[in-house]
Structure 1
Amino acid sequence: MSARGLFLTFEGGDGSGKTTQSALLTEWLTQHERTVLHAREPGGTELGLEVREIVMHRRGFVAPRAEALLYAADRAQNVATVVRPALERGDIVIQDRYLDSSVAYQGAGRILSMAEVRELSLWATEGLLPDLTVLLDLDPAVGRTRLDASRTRYDRLEAEQLDFHTRVRDAYLELAAAEPERFLVLDATRPVDELQQSIRGRVSDLLD
């Protein structure tokens, strides 16, 4: 691992198991005496919590470009005050969602330009990209059944129709195909322990 630390992100549709896999990876890394920082978007900072409430739960219409800008603002604050300082300390940062979420959800999902949304995030983060992005790929219809079993309140994105989430999934796969060296794409219907072993194997390669 470089002195800069390691930046790992988890992506995927709702119900794909990002939280479970990131928690298992953290446990494994901690057992190997690695310092791990958890981060998330949106809402990983005090400012981000305010932005999260707006973008996830505000009633009424939010223009797609306004939504994309709000996510970018949250991301800029998170990288500047949480992620980059941790990387500079040499920590491993494991983050739930990053710029690929904006490209997929605000770009493809809201039918904006995926390229423009990506450039907005790169500007907000001064070009910071993850060392590894784990994409847990799942049929949106299956993801919905998983959410229905555990949620009593749905945010603005979770509540979107199936065609929205299908566009998001397709965008994720397109992004992964364009950057195969950064993405690890896994079938999220595989057993939890199998998925974790695949993730640990890829992370081990980065740590060597």
Structure 2
Amino acid sequence: MQAYTIEQGIVAPLDRANVDTDLIIPKQFLKSIKRTGFGDNLFDELRYLDEGYPGQDNSKRPINPDFVLNQARYQGASILIARQNFGCGSSREHAPWALSEYGFRTVIASSFADIFFNNCFKNGMLPVILPEEVVDQLFKQCAEQQGYQLTVDLEAQQVRTPNGEVFAFEVDPFRKHCLLNGLDDIGLTLQATDEIRAYEEKTQKARPWVFRELKA
């Protein structure tokens, strides 16, 4: 998993509350359990004017010119700002997969659905909770300034604006450690490789019949 330290990037505003995971990545694209291949269908129902399906050539589909991610000023955005209860609905992990593959490393909102919030950390993405009045301010600044960028500093737990404003956010210390060091659940387990190997060797000597049965 890619480590997260400081993200400075263009901001894309999604001015909607209660964005559910089916809107983030619609159900018809959930047949794959790979972590890749979902970015082109992020917000599929909003990005395109036709109905999407797996395996479709998205380059030939009619796009919705009014949707924020299709507008030139937001191309290359790595920070998404949204409204309250972002990521509600079903628990699909495909939602952060799609956001991450599209290029978003940070989502800022006044609140998140719990499961989506947890899944973000497991996939190298930082969900930042800021007060609603601060989110309102960020939306306003983003609309007024083309190419609007924010700096999100995980170590300092700060969101910094171009004009020098600083907004602090909270993050669980363990989740912060994992993001800073690029550790997902597998990475955490591999940190104990020596202890696991020692345990297996000890167990094999103490109960060799177990291993004989496994080999058979």
Q: Compare CA radii of gyration and give the structure with the larger one.
A: 2
Scaled to the shorter chain, the TM-score interval is: 0.3 to 0.5
Higher relative contact order (CA 8 A, sep 6+): 1
